[in-house]
């Protein structure tokens, strides 16, 4: 049986949070009013039709730990930057504001994964760990599809030259030049190349840059700020 896969990424609009988290902030660790975050998360759950227990969140730490979940989780999964499940109707969520949200699925095997891939996590191999976790649960590389969601683009991700060299060594294809001609990083390009090396060739990239698009949250453009949520689930 081939499952229908659903992927969603939120924007800033339509929530209960006030500036500078205005208005649909889904991050509970950025200093926003907890009641506003709870209201936003409840609205998201209702909108996607899965209910308050239908979304699993992570307390992300910029690492490479991927956790398998088989049902609702009270609160959030601690110390994790990736989630994987084989359970239909359970959405896996990643929150970002420049880092890369990675949503992966194998609809034939019935396996999905959500990954938070910032510079440190991407360099540490968190996306490769997620693919390994999917394969261990019956997925096949040729059937895995991946969406690399909205993130800071290489044109707007300026870093010191030695950092660009360091990340490029761990994640080839990441180093680039910014719009100003300085050293930059394009993590989505590096991740797409890494995935291809793992045999995952069905990779789509959301073209939006969080820094350039005012409809999205961006930590680099203006901190403190809120967080977007990207979710994947099987129907």
Percent of the chain having pLDDT more than 70? 100
For the whole model, what pTM was predicted?
A: 0.97
pLDDT value, residue 200: 98
Digit-coded pLDDT (tens) for 31-69: 999 999 999 999 999 999 998 799 999 999 999 999 999
Number of folded domains that form the chain = 1
Question: Residue 116: which domain range?
Answer: 5-234
pLDDT value, residue 1: 83
The CATH number linked to 207 is 3.60.140.10
Segments of 10-69 assigned E as strands: 55-56, 66-68
pLDDT value, residue 173: 98
pLDDT value, residue 52: 79
pLDDT band per the 50, 70, 90 thresholds, residue 217: very high
pLDDT value, residue 199: 98
pLDDT value, residue 207: 96
Q: Which residue has the tokens 């902030």?
A: 25
User: Cα separation of 63 and 81, whole Å?
Assistant: 6
pLDDT value, residue 51: 86
């Amino acid at each position: 049986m081939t499952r229908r896969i659903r992927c969603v990424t939120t924007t800033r609009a339509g929530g209960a949070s006030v500036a500078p988290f205005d208005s649909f902030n889904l991050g509970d660790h950025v200093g926003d009013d907890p009641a506003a975050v709870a209201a936003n998360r409840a609205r998201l759950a209702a909108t996607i039709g899965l209910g308050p227990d239908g979304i699993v969140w992570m307390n992300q730490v910029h690492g490479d730990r991927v956790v398998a979940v088989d049902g609702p989780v009270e609160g959030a999964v601690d110390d994790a930057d990736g989630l994987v499940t084989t359970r239909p109707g359970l959405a896996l969520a990643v929150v970002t504001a420049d880092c890369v949200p990675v949503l992966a699925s194998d609809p034939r095997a019935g396996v999905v994964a959500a990954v938070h891939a910032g510079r440190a996590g991407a360099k540490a191999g968190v996306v490769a760990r997620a693919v390994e976790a999917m394969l261990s649960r019956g997925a096949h590389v040729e059937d895995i599809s991946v969406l690399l969601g909205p993130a800071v683009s290489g044109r707007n991700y300026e870093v010191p030259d030695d950092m660009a060299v360091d990340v490029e060594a761990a994640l080839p294809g990441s180093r680039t030049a910014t719009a100003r001609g300085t050293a930059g990083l394009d993590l989505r390009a590096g991740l797409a190349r890494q995935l291809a090396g793992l045999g995952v060739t069905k990779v789509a990239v959301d073209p939006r840059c969080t820094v350039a698009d005012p409809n999205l949250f961006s930590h680099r453009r203006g901190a403190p700020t809120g967080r977007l949520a990207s979710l994947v689930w099987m129907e």
